[in-house]
Amino acid sequence: MPGDLAALTSAIKDTAYRLRFDMVGICPAVTPQGISRLREWLEAGYAGEMDYLKRHADAYEHPKHVLDGIRSIIMLGLNYRTEEPTKVPSGSGRVSRYAWGDDYHDVIRRRTRKLGDHIHEWIPGSRVRGVVDTAPLPEREFARLAGLGWIGKNTLLLNRTWGSWFFLAALLTDQVLEYDTPFEEDHCGTCTACLEVCPTQAFVAPYVLNARRCISYFTIEARSLAPYDLREGQGDWTFGCDLCQEVCPWNRRVAPTETPEFMPREGLFPLSLAALFSMSEEEFRQLFRDSPLWRAKRRGLLRNAAIVLGNQQDQSQLAPLLIGLKDAEPVVRAASAWAVGRIGTENGFRVLRQLLAQETDDTVRQELERALATV
């Protein structure tokens, strides 16, 4: 067992690096400085359909709601940058690079569990809990407090070495440790590249994101169809969006990850879309099992795929959309109707008219009528 406070803290950090975390910082368990901003953000309605954030708003006030008796938070960062994205051909879609490999939750949990086991060995009876965005804990706030970086204008944590291409995790403990100096500087300067590149104008102001207009939100979190005026801005993004990270100067020289589980899975980038419309629920599960993409579920991915195909306006991709028009999920039918209208072929409009006569879902009927109004 490490002999004193400094030795214990050093042992924890050394072990975290041996477990191949790229960043480690430690801070006290306190009320985060940004809690008032979180409440203002929720009251403004910027969380959209993410009702769980408002339900657990009180729990975000202090990490004691995540671990009783907590005294310290060990913040951990793991780089996921792999290869550079390639051009997306027609009929394919872009996937946010954090989702190219295995599910990061599983990868990071294994490492935090091992780190927690070491703490238990050193201090029998101690309490720890690992968190990988699965509890009411504002990880970015505590990462800044632990000296890992600053919160950028795109609301992501930025680090001078790792940019923003990293996952954050936390290991909570009831042990007192030595704490790192909070990161007080803001190295964004006058740069506004992340704000300007967003095609859906999701940033209300620097450091303020309206999730309801964010491509990542309405391709992953939202259950409904994206607002009509934002669908074209989705472009080729089928799951998530990296635009505000790709243009960030701090991301230009980030070294590639050494985590093999984050390497791109074959067929996930770019993602071929046509075949998805003929897959069963079980086939979807097999393809995306243990992948972040499964979070959107079959209906969400097909909804997104239809929007992308509609944006590409390639007549050769009409066939999968005609399958989507008959899907059991209303949101898939609605998205496919919009996309068929965008492609605008005579055969497509004929099918839309036929389906309008028998469609019973109000949202789908609205999309069918709107698509036919473009003729």
Radius of gyration of the chain (CA): 23
What residues have CB less than 8 Å from 62, skipping those under 6 apart? 29, 30, 31
Query: Which token pair is 343?
Result: 């492609």
Distance between CA 129 and CA 172 in Å, rounded?
5
Instruction: Name 241's Cβ contacts closer than 8 Å, sequence gap at least 6.
Output: 96, 214, 215, 216, 219
**β-strands 128-131, 166-173: how paired?**
antiparallel
Which residues lie closer than 8 Å to 253 by C-beta, 6 or more apart? Answer: none
Angular region, 193: left φ>0, alpha ψ -120 to 50, beta rest: alpha
The 8-class DSSP code of residue 261 comes to: G
| Catalytic member of 58, 106, 117, 133 | 133
Q: Which residues contact 195 (CB under 8 A, 6 or more apart)?
A: 153, 154, 203, 206, 244
Residue 22 is a catalytic residue: no
- Count CA within 13 A, CB hemisphere, residue 60: 23
Return the structure tokens found at 339. 């996309």
- Look up residue 65 and give its two tokens: 């709601």
Q: In what order do the strands lie in the sheet with 72-79?
A: 23-28, 72-79, 166-173, 128-131
Residue 264, token pair as written in the block: 């791109």
Q: CA 163 to CA 156: how far, in whole Å? A: 10
Supply the residues annotated as catalytic.
133
